[in-house]
Amino acid sequence: MEPTHTASQQQAPQQAQQQAQSQSQPEAAVRPGDAVSVLGVDIGGSGIKGAPVDLARGDLAVERFKVLTPQPSTPEAVAESVREVIDSFGWSGRPVGVTFPGVVTSGTTRTAANVDKSWIDVDTAALLGERLGSPVTVVNDADAAGIAEMTFGAGRGRTGTVILLTFGTGIGSAVFIDGRLVPNTELGHLELAGHEAEKRASTKAKDDHNLSWHSWAHRVQRYLEHVEMLFSPELFVIGGGVSRKASKFLPLIEGIKAEIVPAQLLNNAGIVGAAMAARTAMAAQAETAGQAATAGRPEAADRAATRDSAAAPTAGAGSAD
């Protein structure tokens, strides 16, 4: 498991930056022009963490840096915390992928269950891009974790219906059908025993109600039974911070037909998936720019032909080929 640096361990932002830069070969992860490494940031209800990601390996390139989610978790306050994370790596002007705990469409956040409600309908990509001075791609947090697990982790090579569930402040979900993501499913808000599932079965609920592993596993089992009834998945991948303690509760879950496994990337999956989303956005932009350039060449050729023809009539159309 990757160790984590927290802001509480530093006395000032300058010290945080110095410590991040003193880690084992951080320059290899953040030097300009490195196409393999992209920075990912995972915004959660209780913490915000990030790191440059080696996209060839699907792993953090250096130790991650973490700060507590500010309270209240308003857009301006969270944006400042995200900037603190990326500044710790000296990451400026280069693409950043960011996860958000809610529905995200075209860079705009549509729901905000576990952060301040003022996030609803905010163009988060634009807000963070302006604050960070970098191009920003925003994606649902569980979707990002799912993308990472399907590419590098427990879901790699799996077909059929695969559901990743992240247990933390809430419950996030990512549904894949034959490897294709169904975005923004938000299955943590399904009703369970008359309550939102995440109010009963998240790790926050476990802590708030001081539940034993056995009692909490029973709640998780009831939740999985409900999700299985709706989707009939072949595989459940259990993610979030609690995934590193899977041996304490997964053996207690019974009666589920689907295979249940812990996330292999543990609680770093969101960071990796955020970086992957940013790389995908970069590739799409490059492709669009290339298509535009290609589409413009005939016009440029025609203009050149007209110019050359006027300047040297004897060359004719041949000079335009």
* Stated pTM of the model: 0.81
DSSP string, 205-261: HHHHTT--HHHHHHHHHHHHHHHHHHH--SEEEEESGGGGGHHHHGGG--S--SEEE
Least confident of 35-44, 86-95, 275-284, 289-298: 289-298
Mean pLDDT of the chain: 86
Q: Is the distance from CB of 277 to CB of 97 less than 8 angstroms?
A: yes
At residue 4, does pLDDT exceed 80?
A: no
Least confident of 29-43, 56-70, 169-183: 29-43
* pLDDT tens-digit readout, 247-293: 999 999 999 999 999 999 999 999 999 999 999 999 998 888 888 88
Tokens of residue 318, six digits:
């041949």
Mean pLDDT, rounded, for 83-93: 95
Q: Are 131 and 79 in contact (CB under 8 A)?
A: yes
Q: Hey, CA dihedral for 253, 257, 258, 259, is it positive or negative?
A: positive
**22 has pLDDT over 50:** no
The average pLDDT across 15-21 equals 39
Once rounded to an integer, what is the mean pLDDT over residues 161-189?
Answer: 98
Compare 11 and 186 and report the one with higher pLDDT.
Answer: 186
Backbone torsions φ then ψ of 204, nearest 5 degrees: -65, -40
Measure the CA–CA gap between 216 and 263, rounded to whole angstroms: 19
> So what's the pLDDT on residue 281?
94
When pLDDT is cut at 50, 70 and 90, the band that residue 61 belongs to is very high
In the Cβ-directed half-sphere of 43, how many Cα atoms lie within 13 Å? Answer: 34
Q: 46: which residues sit within 8 A by CB, 6+ positions away?
A: 68, 69, 168, 169, 204
More confident residue, 305 or 225: 225
Q: Which residues have CB under 8 Å from 75's CB, separation 6+?
A: 116, 118, 119, 122, 124, 127
Domains of the chain: 4-144 (3.30.420.40), 157-264 (3.30.420.40)
Strand partners for 262: 238
